[in-house]
Structure 1
Amino acid sequence: MSEADNSQPQLVRAVSRWQIVGLSINDVIGSGIYLLPAATVALLGGFSLWGVVLAGVVVALLVACYAQAASYYDAPGGSYLYAREAFGPFIGFQVGWMIWLTRIASAAALANALADALARFWPVLGEGGGRAAVIVGSLGLLTFINVIGVRSAARTGVALVIGKLLPLAVFIFVGLFYVDWSLAFRGEAIALHDPARLGEAALLLLYAYAGFENIPAAAGEYRNPRRDLPFALMTMIVTVTLVYAGVQLVAQGTLAGLAGSATPLADSAATFGGVGMAMLLTFGAVVSILGTNSNTMMMGPRFLYALAHDGYGPSILARVHARFRTPAAAIITQGVIALGLALAPMLIEEPTHNPFVLLALLSMVTRLLSYIGTAAAVLVLERRYGHRAEAMQLPGGRLIPVLALLLCLALFASASWQNILAAAVAFAIGAVIYLFPRRAH
């Protein structure tokens, strides 16, 4: 990352270690956990629980790569910074550009998902003016919270992660007493001869664990990022894997028709806790979606700020607010664009596709590009900075990043050609922007 401009206020280091842990859990446990049990059973059958655990182990390899890379820097940028430092400005720019596009699409999709979730209680919020009010209100509120300070955003994120974990904890704790253990592991055997089905399941599971890559993006606002980021990332992956495994076990063991359920956790909860428990899980889904979007609106602008800080895009996007000491222009820019994308489907009289599903699938391709970039970057950066006393040392040396890189390449190859084509178009647009920087390098 280039040297900061001392003529303007600098980002404030306000976020503590445990706030980073809360933010990282908040960014991963989102809407995916409320869809994961049914879709996973439909794809993996009786192997679903082990698939969830195995996915956690695989993602832990990627998390370890990010933790090691984070131990080398205390500057913002995350995947963008690591790729740029390892492979040069063009690759770094492309990684940062693609991740930022993903953040915009994710924010827009989650705003629509929030309206859908609230419509369960109040149908008027699912369409027309009510839906627009939810989208504008949620994105506007989250944008405002992030503009006035990263400390307020971090506290909001921690509060939301508590709100989303409590319903899941109750679901697991109470549900374990009602699990039918024969039902929990019953189902169609995994189709090892069907690579397309396995690839779809792998991407689904990866989507449920995605989001951890956002946390290093705001490293410049953490108190001790080289020490706290690795701790937070490793604590997060252990916690999330345990929660996901517990949720999957209870859902499989209490709901016979799990694979066909549109609201698997609420339906499962209703079998042993009645309407009240089902409502609690629905409330948890709303808080979970809002919490994930809170982190999206916090971390996404940091990629835009980092890109603009290095000369790509208007200089105003690289400015820090004089009073709040946040990248306010970048935050507002993302909020406005995300709002436009979120409201766009309302202009279509009869939409043929679910925007949340389309954007979620596309986000996995762009995320995989950032994962590939970071895993490969670690192999380069370890040779450069691995001797530092504060640098994190992974067990097995280069084995973990090599395994993570190979797994990500395999997952990328399993994506649909439509999503790969869309990512290629975005990559080409980014290349054009790169050719016309604000200043020479």
Structure 2
Amino acid sequence: MPTPGSTPRPSLRIKPVEAQIAEGGADAEGHSLRRTMGLFQLTAFGIGAVVGTGIFVSLSDIVPVAGPASILSFLLAAATCVLSGLSFAELAGVIPVAGSSYAYAYATFGEAVAFLMGGWLLLEYGVSLSAVAVGWGQYLNELTGTLFGVALPDALSNPPGDGGLVNVPAALLIMLVALLLVRGVRESARATTAMVVVKLVVLALFVGLALTAFDSGNLLPFAPHGLAGIGAGASLAFFSYVGFDAISTAGEEVHNPRRNLPLAIVGSIGVCTVLYCAVTLAAIGAMPPERIGDSPAVLSTIAESVSGSATGAAVIAFGAVVAIASVVLAVFYGQTRILMSMSRDGLIPHVFERVSPTTGTPVANTWIVGGLFAVIAAVVPLKVVLDLTTIGSLAAMALVNLCVLALRRQRPDLPRNFTVPFGPVLPLLGFAFCLYLSVGFGGSTWILFLAFSVLCLLGYVAYGRRHSRLAVATDPVEGAPIP
């Protein structure tokens, strides 16, 4: 394994932690990101990144697989996230920069692995933009249909493969979020905080309403498909937690990052886990599990059934519209900051690192990401998008757990405000849990994931290897291409 100060092969070049922190978010013109977020806003940002499509839409996929034991599926997925979240918390405190997992891999396993990590994060953040936005259109139709009796035709609001041709609301949402993000981080953080409050209130109202119709008989048999069903449900439920690590991409825009990043990561996962289990228990108690799979907008359906009025459905649909929009905002933000870090290192074109001196945001980067994933949201089948997002997230988190162990060995001298307890045990468990959930995906998903990973490595060889800004520092002839 290479060490800082050595002259390794190009693919093994490590970017030292001190060098990453010293750059301070500046682009080639010296324009920097601005520190505008505190602990409360950062925790709200994390909750905003997580609570959305997963609980509002994916429940109708999880319950048919796991039955009432879906609660255990959410807990198993949460355990995976908590273990990996602890690793993120340690690394975010040591390397408080915008690159998140990409930066951690660059500091431990070298340039090629960091580039591959950047590709996996493109699946987690970028592709999940499309997956999350797709669910928004379904609840938007539910809301407008209930309130105004008007809804877009299925061909323009459903995902391809599910009765739709082009998902117009999904693409529109992504471009509206892009417009908000280019205006500034302070404005985006305020919007996220407001949306988080709204969706937490709406979900609390749903739990209270659904519990009035609670039937304990719906919980039996508790695990109709046994441990296999719980495991399969956990693989699906994991998507509901995707995005919590977006907190670590705010390392250059938060006050006191060494303290606030770990606290926000652990806090947001805890809040989301309690919320998910409460919603799942209330939903199954109010509606037999075999009926939950019949509707993608299942929480609205339950609210209308229990209340006997369209008002309850409209409130839940409104909460879902707000919740999903906040997730899109948070993961969109995370994707642009990761691309900015890669561009700053020279591994992708420089256009992604440019920061506007007026807004303090990467404007071109934001519009490019928005345009690309708006198209994906509009035309790619939802099943493909969901599975690629989840397996990319699991791969990235598995590697982050190993990054913790590698950095402890390489740089025990670095200050650590938070350390994952019990030595290497919990990071290794986090790695193992990620692998376990990955097994739940079919062969076609694995083939797509491996093909994408190979393309990423080819992209590194073709572009990143020769344009890396570390090349000048490691090549004895300054500026000469490394053979």
Q: How does the TM-score come out when normalised to structure 1?
A: 0.90
Give distance in 2, aligned partners of 1:425 and 1:90.
Answer: 16
RMSD over equivalenced CA pairs, Å: 2.3
Give distance in 1, aligned partners of 2:253 and 2:69.
Answer: 42
Any conservation in 1 of the 2:52–2:132 contact (CA below 8 Å)? no
Aligned to 2:77: 55
Q: How does 1:11-30 map onto structure 2 within 5 Å?
A: 11-30=33-52
Aligned to 2:151: 123
**CA-to-partner distance for each residue in 1:93-137, whole Å, 9 max, x for gaps?**
110122124433222333333223222223226544997653453
Give distance in 1, aligned partners of 2:138 and 2:292.
Answer: 21
Aligned to 1:264: 298
**CA-to-partner distance for each residue in 1:396-428, whole Å, 9 max, x for gaps?**
122110100111122223322211111122212
- Mean Cα displacement is larger for which, 260-269 or 385-394? 385-394
Aligned to 1:349: none
Aligned to 2:206: 171
Any conservation in 1 of the 2:210–2:282 contact (CA below 8 Å)? yes
Give distance in 2, aligned partners of 1:58 and 1:439.
Answer: 34
Deviation at 1:178, TM superposition (A): 3.1
- 1:128–1:180 CA distance, 2 compared to 1 (3 A): closer
Decide which of 234, 237, 242 is 1:210's aligned counterpart. Answer: 242
Give distance in 2, aligned partners of 1:418 and 1:376.
Answer: 27
Any conservation in 1 of the 2:343–2:353 contact (CA below 8 Å)? yes
Aligned to 1:405: 431
Q: What letter matches 1:331 in structure 2?
A: T
Q: What letter matches 2:306 in structure 1?
A: F
Aligned to 1:424: 450
**CA-to-partner distance for each residue in 1:302-340, whole Å, 9 max, x for gaps?**
111111111022212111111111122211110111122
Give distance in 2, aligned partners of 1:27 and 1:182.
Answer: 34
Q: Is there any run of 5+ residues in structure 2 with no aligned partner, and where?
A: 1-18, 159-165, 472-483
Deviation at 1:139, TM superposition (A): 2.0
Any conservation in 1 of the 2:172–2:374 contact (CA below 8 Å)? no
For the pair 1:240 / 2:272, whether they are aligned, the reply is yes
Q: How does the TM-score come out when normalised to structure 2?
A: 0.83
Q: What letter matches 2:422 in structure 1?
A: G
- Mean Cα displacement is larger for which, 23-32 or 379-388? 379-388
Aligned to 2:127: 105
Count of aligned pairs: 429
Decide which of 246, 255, 264 is 2:287's aligned counterpart. Answer: 255
Give distance in 2, aligned partners of 1:156 and 1:125.
Answer: 30
Any conservation in 2 of the 1:116–1:126 contact (CA below 8 Å)? no
Any conservation in 1 of the 2:336–2:369 contact (CA below 8 Å)? yes
Give distance in 2, aligned partners of 1:367 and 1:398.
Answer: 21
Decide which of 74, 78, 98 is 2:100's aligned counterpart. Answer: 78
Deviation at 1:376, TM superposition (A): 0.6
- 1:134–1:48 CA distance, 2 compared to 1 (3 A): closer
- 1:99–1:12 CA distance, 2 compared to 1 (3 A): same
- 1:223–1:359 CA distance, 2 compared to 1 (3 A): same
Q: Percent identity?
A: 26
1:95 match: secondary structure: helix
Deviation at 1:287, TM superposition (A): 1.6
Deviation at 1:185, TM superposition (A): 4.7
